A and B are shown apart, each in its own frame.
Chain A
Amino acid sequence: GAVVSQHPSWVICKSGTSVKIECRSLDFQATTMFWYRQFPKQSLMLMATSNEGSKATYEQGVEKDKFLINHASLTLSTLTVTSAHPEDSSFYICSARDRPKKGTGSYEQYFGPGTRLTVT
């Protein structure tokens, strides 16, 4: 299957600083990428959808000025958590969408391994 990588796998930062997380599709071109967040013992929550070359679409309740998303190429999307606070500590997971399969409306989403952010 297709491979999605994330970097870094974990990061610790001080409150008030910014952190950038990279998401790459390694063997396919992803016109659309998604960012999710997962708190302990909870399910994944969709934060935003990003399309290559255009502005990201954020889910309700997600601050676009705090979580900056850039999807500059077909294989790279970045999420920057600005002015991070302890409540932003979470597991951030990106996902990349493959092209729809011929003759169907279905496509698969492939997930990265996640980035664990701890804000102290």
Chain B
Amino acid sequence: DAKTTQPTSMDCAEGRAANLPCNHSTISGNEYVYWYRQIHSQGPQYIIHGLKNNETNEMASLIITEDRKSSTLILPHATLRDTAVYYCIVKGNTPLVFGKGTRLSVIA
């Protein structure tokens, strides 16, 4: 059963911020929000994860709403190399289960 809902696809202009939304209204208290991406014909790449506080690393920022029912992944300055399928996954102590993700196309 899908635990997250993401738009099927999004476009973003190169150099602009890409904001990828994710709904996870049934998230449990001990489940984390993870984001991975998959560039064509490669293995998934870890981006970021969080529990309830906003998180930032060298790749992206993760904004989680106070009720934890949704989150947004922010790529601050998208480049053509960020074109990929982005997966939002909620998990506890279980393996990652992938949904369909959002296909982000960064356009020059």
Contact = CB atoms under 8 A, between A and B. Distances in A.
A31 B33 CA distance: 23
Interface of A: 1, 4, 6, 34, 36, 43-46, 49, 91, 93, 95, 104-106, 108-114, 116
Contacts, number: 53
Given A105-B92, A106-B49, A108-B46, A91 B99 contact: no
Contacts of A44: 38, 44, 98
Contacts of A112: 43
Nearest to B49: A106
**Majority-rule SS of A interface residues:** strand
A112 B49 CA distance: 19
Contact of B43 (A104, A108, A113): A113
A108 B49 contact: yes
A109 B95 contact: yes
Contacts of B36: 111
A26 to B, nearest CB: 14
A91 B38 CA distance: 13
